[in-house]
């Protein structure tokens, strides 16, 4: 297989610091570089729909919740890994754009639920379809078994950082 930028970086570190085992760079530097490139590609896919990444994250969390596509602000905080103050600001901005509405929580007189509007459903569905189209193109050179193996290996690496939910 032809050398890539990580191969050159690892080779240089091996030359400069032969006392260190730099093997983790072989995997994790590639994961890091891939993550940056995916973030850029996702940003482009979302921008094509007038969305920022954080907007997609909130709308997608609501859409995944199933009909009627609503969650409490606390559930949104858990789903998107931001603070409650940040989520309040994000919901305000999405409501201004007509993508979400706040409704009283029938199970908690003091609580509210954030619900997708039809416009919110439409924009997140369209953005997801485009995102998946881009991501399938990125995976096109991998066979189904390779994709499954890669997903399983990445799951093992990620598991210690995930919260039980």
Q: For the chain, which residues make up each domain, given as ranges?
A: 48-161
Distance CA 124, CA 56 (A): 6
pLDDT at 165 over 60: no
CATH number belonging to the domain at 48-161, selected among 1.10.10.10, 1.20.1440.230, 1.10.3720.10, 3.40.1280.10 = 1.10.10.10
pTM over 0.75: yes
Contact of 61 with 80, CB cutoff 8 Å: yes
Work out the burial of residue 161: count CB atoms within 10 Å of its CB; fewer than 13 is exposed, 13-18 middle, 19 or more buried: exposed
pLDDT digits (tens, 9 = 90+) for 15-58: 999 999 999 999 999 999 999 989 988 988 899 999 999 999 99
Q: Report the pLDDT averaged over residues 71-97.
A: 93
Residue 153 token pair = 């290996």
Q: Report the pLDDT averaged over residues 105-133.
A: 93
Distance CA 118, CA 63 (A): 11
């Amino acid at each position: 297989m032809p050398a890539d930028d990580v191969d050159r970086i690892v080779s240089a570190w091996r030359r400069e610091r032969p006392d260190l085992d730099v093997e983790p760079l072989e995997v994790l530097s590639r994961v890091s570089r891939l993550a940056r490139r995916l973030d850029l590609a996702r940003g482009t896919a979302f921008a094509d729909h007038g969305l920022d990444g954080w907007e997609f994250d909130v709308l997608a969390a609501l859409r995944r919740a199933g009909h009627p596509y609503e969650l409490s602000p606390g559930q949104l905080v858990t789903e998107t890994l931001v603070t409650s103050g940040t989520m309040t600001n994000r919901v305000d901005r999405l409501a201004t754009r007509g993508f979400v509405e706040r409704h009283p929580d029938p199970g908690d007189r003091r609580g509210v639920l954030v619900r997708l509007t039809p416009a919110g459903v439409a924009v997140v569905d369209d953005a997801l379809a485009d995102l998946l189209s881009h991501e399938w193109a990125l995976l096109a050179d991998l066979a189904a078994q390779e994709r499954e193996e890669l997903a399983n290996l990445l799951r093992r690496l990620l598991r210690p950082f995930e919260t039980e939910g």
